[in-house]
Amino acid sequence: MMSLTIAGTAVLNSLVADLSPELAAMLLASVIGGYTLIGGLGATFYVSYFNTALIFVLILMLVVEVFYNPFNNPENPFGSSESVFEFIACWKAPEEPMGNKGGSYLTFFSSGGLVFGIVNIVGNFGTVFCDQAYWQSSVAAKPLQGVWGFISGGLVWFAIPFTLATTMGLAYIGLSSAQG
């Protein structure tokens, strides 16, 4: 929880000029504490739903813009998976430090990726079993809603981060290639 507070403080500091970190932390704690005090645990659920929906909409907008370019944005060099592939295929990844097979960014055989995946899985299991927010949500939910919530959460646990990370990573490398 403390890392989220520090991260939120850093975001507020980057968005607002000349805002002290202490004031940013107090504002963040006041807003979160205020809506929790007024609305109770239900307010935290509604805010979580809203934040999740907002993040999903932004992710879908990013994926659509990178792979389809529906508005024919002239600054977007992509528009299809083929064009993303063309921009990335010509770039060679640093073979030795990253451990990518064949020196390619377009591979699933990466020793760094494997280590990251293992660390991420272990860390996420630790978060789920040790973070009090997960337990509060599961205890406060009605049994039927809790079951469907955990089933749907388990189904998208891999798909959503994979889609976001792949799209953002490939778009970054493709844009770097497009700009020379």
* Residues of the chain by 3-state class (helix, strand, coil), percent to 5: 80, 0, 20
pLDDT tens track for 106-155? 777 888 778 888 888 888 777 777 777 777 777 777 888 888 887 887 78
Give residue 101's pLDDT band: very low, low, confident or very high (50, 70, 90). confident
pTM across the whole model: 0.60
pLDDT-derived band of residue 1, with 50, 70 and 90 as boundaries? low
19, 13 contact by CB (below 8 A): yes
51: tokens are 């934040």
**Strand, helix or coil at 94?**
coil
Average pLDDT of the chain? 82
Q: What is the Cα–Cα distance from 79 to 76, expressed in whole angstroms?
A: 7
Q: How many Cβ atoms are within 10 Å of 77's Cβ, its own excluded? A: 17
Least confident of 39-43, 68-72, 79-83, 169-173: 39-43
Gap between the Cα atoms of 98 and 113, Å rounded: 8
CA distance 164 to 89: 20
Task: Name the nearest CA neighbour of 59 among 179, 167, 176.
Answer: 167
Q: Is residue 94 scored above 70 in pLDDT?
A: no
